[in-house]
Structure 1
Amino acid sequence: MAKVQTKDLLEQFKLELIAGEQGLDREFIMSDISRPGIELTGYFRYYPKARLQILGKTELSYFKELTTEERVDRSVKLCTDVTPCIVISRGMDVPQELVDACNETHVPLLRSPYKTTRVVSRLTNFLEAKFAPFTAMHGVLVDIHGVGVMITGQSGVGKSETALELVKRGHRLVADDSVEIRQEDYDRLIGSSPELIEHLLEIRGLGIINVMTLFGASAVRSHKKIDYVINLENWNDKKQYDRIGMEEETIKIIDVDVPKATLPVRPGRNLAVIIEVAAMNFRLKRLGVNAAEEFSTRLTKMIDQEKSNLTKGIDFD
């Protein structure tokens, strides 16, 4: 799990620090965000104090109608030892009672010039991405016509060489050798490259090459949603491989089932072209066009027609 501190938000979103500077190293333990509304009325029994707290126009308007004693009491109770920070939206004026409480308890008090809904949306997306389930897989991730294709297989089967050929054909490399994967939604996997090997390809006999330097910035990208997994394996004469495309395999990555295909490797097969066509065919399937099903339908109709003709040709007398 990633380590997120309040100062990360300050730098990422260009927020204004109002008070509580000594608490900028506070860590987030969850991605949830709270808008303390009922708490301002004095009900703190179920106050989610460990969440990021956002005060918008509604909350501050009510806060200003409280008495001085009530404002002090609410401010003190809002600022706990585990509250990562309090964010004021719309660039509104901050009540002095809240400023004093944040300085006393070292809870960072930040301010954003944007509307509350936009602040909530951006901060939620940022924290959800940081706290998303994470894993790493051995393979190559390439963006082929907008489809994120993860190429897997045993070491030395030709994954990097295939990725190099795909880059030469105009596609974009995301990661080679090790792919860092985050589950940013219940069905959404985002793959990226470790910083150490970003934009690099290892080609046996040639060494390490920098794809961006050789082919330009258009040949790489920093991250991509994983849509399809293609596993390369050495050709096995004893194994029956799918020749029509009716079989649909999946592979489970974290909690997501990703469509998968297995391609046998042997001399003479142009893997880059096959994978490129596989990605294009995958896009067609998502658009409702399935060549294997069309072939199966045609074949069934032809068999039914032959049976019908045969039946008509039989004289039962």
Structure 2
Amino acid sequence: MVYLSKPLSALFAYQTMYLLLVMLLAMLLQSCSQSGPVLINTEHQSVNRNERVRLLVLHYTAINWERSLKALTQPGATAVSAHYLIPESFDPTYPADKQLQVYQLVPETQRAWHAGASRWEDRSALNDQSIGIELVNLGWCHQRTVPFAEPGNNELCLTPDFDPAQLQLLTKLLKDILARNPEISPTRVVAHSDIAPSRKQDPGPRFPWQWLANQGIGAWYDNQTLLKYWQGIKAIPDARMVQRALQRYGYGIGVTGEWDAQSRDVLLAFQRHFVPNRVSGELDAETVAVLWALLEKYFPDSLSGPESLALTLE
């Protein structure tokens, strides 16, 4: 016969107490794990990704430093902003005791409201994917309400030259941004008018895109390739061909086969950027040669294959 050292009721009570303590401890541990920091393991990284920022968009403010800073930082009816603002050295509203410098208004990790309704390549609503830089400059462009019959006389742009000191700051800033954002290829350094051609004209035809390209920033054509197309073009391509070429470069243009209002707006933007001596919205041999020289340099694949954009040259 086995004799128990303690009554069964006492053992049962001890077991019950033990189970209750274990359950209480488990609940406490669960509570701590929920309120404490989440443990995240990063040892397995996917290669199926790219950078958020794909575009650099350049603007001018069309107003002085003081008004620009207020418009881009304070609440108002327009509610606009930019990641960076660069003043002019000779602006009388800029503090005389301050060295000319770049002002960051929105962190690059956040969305600035600078692009508006916009499109480039296969993307739209580009605030999410771009860095916006505003340059203080009093330029503006206007379209005639009643257009002249002759092409090339319907836009008036009064854009002062950009401040050399301002451009030096811009160059340093752009090189820094490009070094950190490899997704921004040369054809993705664009004007506000490139991504919103029916609404915007900035930074206008006086902005020195070729000078910027000589600093290693943005796109520009090679002179020998331009000459090859300019001398060899037999005829101006039809509207559909030009629309396809502009679309391949990046512009948000529909291929309608008609030289319509959207086509003229896009061509005006293209000419402001690459043919500033011919901002007419009309096709001519120089504009066509520039466009195809750019395609050959940056999108050579577009000039071969079943959907080839290649031109027949003399």
Which structure is higher in strand share?
1
**Is TM > 0.5 for Structure 1 vs Structure 2?**
no
Task: For CA contacts below 8 A with separation 6 or more, give which structure has more relative contact order.
Answer: 2
Give the TM-score of the pair, scaled to structure 1: 0.24
Give the TM-score of the pair, scaled to structure 2: 0.24
